[in-house]
Amino acid sequence: MAKKYVNITSAPTTTTLLSNADKQQTGKIKSINISNNRGNTHATISLYLDSNSTSDDYYFFKNVFLPPGTSLFLNEGLSFDINNYALKFTNADSNDISIIIK
């Protein structure tokens, strides 16, 4: 099972959260919590699967507006085949985001 804690301190960014490059990770995910820790800046965020073999991306969500001081919790339909995809996150606007993957 995946378990990862990520702090993002710059914007805009694209961050690879899980991929087969890290052999200790799997694509089995129970939940993801994304928190915008800034008190005065919104975040525009996307979470997607990047195909290792094609240029196709498969979005869980794209360009979601996350207000200051709020979180987004996902707990269904998140697992994926880590041999064929990488889980990526993009962020614009906020430079203080925490991501917890369980």
Give per-residue pLDDT as tens, 44-101.
999 999 998 788 899 999 999 999 999 999 999 999 999 999 999 999 988 899 999 9
- 17: CATH: 2.60.290
Q: Does the global pTM surpass 0.85? A: yes
The pLDDT assigned to 2 comes to 59
One-letter-per-residue 3-state SS of the chain: CCCEEEEECCCCEEEEEECCCCCCCCCCCCCEEEEECCCCCCEEEEEEEEECCCCCEEEEEEEEEECCCCEEEECCCCCCCCCCEEEEEEEECCCCEEEEEC
The pLDDT assigned to 62 comes to 97
Number of domains in the chain: 1
The pLDDT assigned to 1 comes to 56
Of residues 24 and 47, which shows the higher confidence score?
47
